[in-house]
Chain A
Amino acid sequence: MKTPVIQAKDLNLTFETNDGPVHALKGVNLDIQQGDFVSFIGPSGCGKTTFLRCIAGLETPTGGSLTVNGMSPDDARKARAYGYVFQAAGLYPWRTIGGNIRLPLEIMGYSKQKQAEQVQRTLELVDLAGFEKKFPWQLSGGMQQRASIARALAFDADILLMDEPFGALDEIVRDHLNAELLKLWDRTGKTVGFVTHSIPEAVFLSTKIVVMSPRPGRITDVIESTLPRERPLEIRDSKEFIEIAHRVREGLKAGSEV
């Protein structure tokens, strides 16, 4: 078996607060393989976002081990191993769409010509070709979020970390973007970590669904999806899809009863 891209062993993260320690993550064990699409699902406070931030090196675990590409998360961050998509698009209003996608490339010191190439390529990848010169306010919320995905893809990191990227969008736009994201994942073969609290979204997208529960934040179930890689939106009406969704729901219920 290949070595996992992301590997967590007995990971703990405790925040010290005035009301005593808060166990944001406790005893988290997880392997993520190259090319996996892993969703983290659970109620608020279950540590799903915290875990994603640990992978990104934005939070430091207080115990256990965590490696990304065989390195510590902080080294991986410095090696620009991943692109991160936040819940809000967070595009700079003073930069055009092209300028926003160019931002990481400028910071990482790409040549002007290479920057232009990458911007063109990623714009096509998220279906925004022709919008390069537009400013963010000229785009809809869904298009802005696509631009922010393009920004995370621009520098060819192998890992894509997404923290409820479609949480603020309406369901129709969300469905559309989910389908687009799957296509993009299929084409690029990236490893994706995806935080959500929508069960259908998690089941539809993932090869692996990680169910988490709060107090302390921990993993209660890991479900390997049996759905095929090719997934039309209609797959959500299939028996298999409903069964997996059911298991996720049971896992969430079990977690909240403890």
Chain B
Amino acid sequence: MKHLLPVLTVVIALLAVWYIACIPMNVKEVLTTAERAGVPIDPPSAAERRDMGHLALVLRNTDALGGSWSQDRARLPSPHQITAELWKSTWEEEVNGRRGIVRSGSLSNRSLIYHGWITLSATFVGFLIGAGLGVLLAVGIVHSRVMDMSVMPWAIISQTIPIVALAPMIIVVLYSVGINGLIPKAIISAYLSFFPVVVGMVKGLRAPDHMQLDLLKTYNATKSQTFWKLRLPSSVPYLFTSLKIGIAASLVGAIVGELPVQRGGLGARMLGGSYYGQTEQIWAALFVAAGMAALLVWLIGWLEKRTLTRMGMLT
């Protein structure tokens, strides 16, 4: 709770900046609306206004800016408009809406709960694949020099390819062999999340120093005993750190995977919003994604704390 005050201060500062930014961002549309309502605008012709700077328009029409925070399809919708959209596309849609879960028995395809769940399930599956693959690769890299020399460079190269360029190809290729729906998105998501897990796990499995390894040698321990009794437990703190990065990357991967397909999910919702100029919808989806990422990272952090406490490694 001691973080409450600093966090709240930052949030309030951000909101203030946001509300102020709404004025110049939306000024042209706001002035047009005001003009239609009969308010005199300076300069009076739309053609002149088009070529003017946003700030200059704001300064010349300070008394006609009342609509800055309530504009429909604003360039920058204000926080309360986004909050209203969030409420409308979650609670209102599901509880009071004709297609909501209360009346129809299934989630409405216009609600963020429905889309969030689609993204979340792809994130989970992708994260499981990515983390599992990452751990396996790390074990291989630590135990085999050949894998160390061959896999690691490719793992690094794989991350230099922009995922937005690769995602449509993965989807098309998998579609042509009859795989669609959740799996292609999960694979894109796994593609992003395996890398931090590999790097963290390799570091973790190599964390035991010479003395620790010599000690096991004096017991004539086998390689697998060394792995299970020393390397694996030593790697646990490193694993959790990389899982936190990995799960956030998984979410990004799932969203990117939803952009080209338009069959639901937060990514589809964001792109759909931008097609139809529904900025509030984009922002609402963005906030749901951010909230989900925070929740997932917190979840891993909670697991980390529990695990390390049980292992006696957290004092």
**B215 contacts A86, CB within 8 Å?**
yes
Q: A86, A94, A108, A155: which contacts B313 (Cβ < 8 A)? A: A94
The answer, yes or no, to whether A181 is at the interface (CB within 8 Å) is: no
Tell me whether A58 and B219 are in contact in the complex, defined as CB-CB below 8 angstroms, given that A94-B312, A106-B229 are known contacts: no
Complex: A117 Cα to B311 Cα, angstroms: 24
Would B220 and A83 count as touching, CB distance under 8 A? no
Are A84's CB and B215's CB within 8 A?
yes
In the complex, B143 has a CB within 8 A of chain A: no
1/0 per position for B129-152, CB-CB distance to A under 8 A? 000000000000000000000000
Q: Which residues of B contact A86 (CB under 8 A)?
A: 211, 214-215
Number of A-B pairs whose CB atoms are under 8 Å? 49
A135 CB, min distance to chain B CBs, angstroms? 4
In the assembled complex, how far is the CB of residue B85 from the closest CB belonging to chain A, in whole angstroms?
Answer: 48
Cβ of B98 under 8 Å from chain A: no
Residues of A within 8 A of B236 (CB): 94
Q: B126: shortest Cβ distance to chain A, in Å?
A: 30
Q: B225 contacts A94, CB within 8 Å?
A: no
- Count residues of B near A (Cβ-Cβ below 8 Å): 19
Interface of A is mostly: loop
Contact B218 A77 (CB under 8 A): yes
Q: How far is the CB of A47 from chain B (nearest CB, A)?
A: 17
Q: Does A107 contact B (CB under 8 A)?
A: yes
B221, CB-defined interface residue at 8 Å: yes
Chain A's closest residue to B315 (CB) is A137
Query: B211 CB to closest chain A CB, in angstroms?
Result: 5
- The answer to whether B214 and A58 touch across the interface, beta carbons within 8 angstroms, is yes
Contact partners of B233 in chain A: CB under 8 A: 92, 94
Most buried by A among B217, B219, B311, B313: B219
A229, CB-defined interface residue at 8 Å: no
Give B240 Cβ to nearest chain A Cβ, in Å: 13
Complex Cα distance A82/B214, Å? Answer: 13
Residues of B within 8 A of A80 (CB): 219-220
**Distance between Cα atoms of A56 and B311 in the complex (Å):** 31
Residues of B within 8 A of A87 (CB): 211
In Å, the complex CA distance between A106 and B233 comes to: 16
A83–B219 Cα gap in the complex (Å)? Answer: 8
> Which B-chain residue is minimally distant from A151 (CB atoms)?
B215
Q: Indicate whether A77 sits within 8 Å of B211 (C-beta atoms), given known contacts A94-B312, A135-B312.
A: no
Tell whether, in the assembled complex, residue B312 and residue A95 are in contact, meaning their CB atoms are under 8 Å apart: yes
Is there an interface contact between B215 and A93, defined as CB atoms closer than 8 Å? no
Instruction: Assess the B312–A58 pair: CB atoms within 8 A.
Output: no
Asked if A116 is at the interface (CB within 8 A of a chain B CB), the reply is: no
Q: Does A103 contact B (CB under 8 A)?
A: yes
B216 contacts partner chain A, Cβ-Cβ < 8 Å: yes
Please determine whether A88 and B312 come into contact, CB atoms closer than 8 angstroms.
Answer: no
User: Given A80-B219, A108-B219: A103 and B229 within 8 A (CB)?
Assistant: yes
**Bound Cα distance A83, B230 (Å):** 18
Q: Which residue of B lies closest to A137 (CB)?
A: B315
Hey, which chain A residues are within 8 Å of B96, CB to CB? Answer: none
Chain B residues in 8 Å Cβ range of A106: 229
* Cα of A82 to Cα of B211 in the assembled complex, Å: 16
CA distance A108 to B211 in the complex (A): 19
A107 and B313 form a contact (CB under 8 A): no
Asked if A104 CB lies within 8 Å of chain B CBs, one says: yes
Given A88-B211, A92-B230, the answer on whether A83 and B218 have CB atoms closer than 8 Å is: yes
Interface residues of A in 106-142 (CB under 8 A from B): 106-108, 135, 137
Given contacts A94-B233, A103-B229, contact A58 B211 (CB under 8 A): no
Q: Let me know if B104 is at the binding interface, CB within 8 A.
A: no
Q: Is A33 an interface residue (CB 8 A)?
A: no
Verify if B212 is at the interface (C-beta below 8 Å from A). yes
Instruction: Find out whether the CB atom of A107 lies under 8 angstroms from the CB atom of B218.
Output: no
* A90 neighbours in B (Cβ, 8 Å): 211-212, 215
Residue A78 is within 8 A (CB to CB) of chain B in the complex: yes
Check A58 against B217 for contact (C-beta < 8 Å): yes
Q: Can you list 8 A-B pairs, Cβ within 8 angstroms, ordered by A? A: A80-B220, A86-B214, A86-B215, A90-B215, A103-B229, A107-B219, A107-B221, A108-B219
Using a CB–CB cutoff of 8 Å, the interface residues on chain B facing chain A are: 211-212, 214-221, 225, 229-230, 233, 236, 311-313, 315
Besides the contacts A84-B218, A107-B229, A137-B312, what 20 more A-B pairs have beta carbons closer than 8 Å? A58-B217, A77-B217, A77-B218, A77-B220, A78-B220, A80-B220, A83-B218, A84-B214, A86-B211, A86-B214, A90-B211, A90-B212, A92-B230, A92-B233, A94-B236, A94-B312, A95-B312, A103-B219, A107-B216, A137-B315
Q: List 5 A-B pairs, minimum CB-CB distance, nearest first.
A: A135-B312, A94-B311, A84-B218, A107-B221, A107-B219
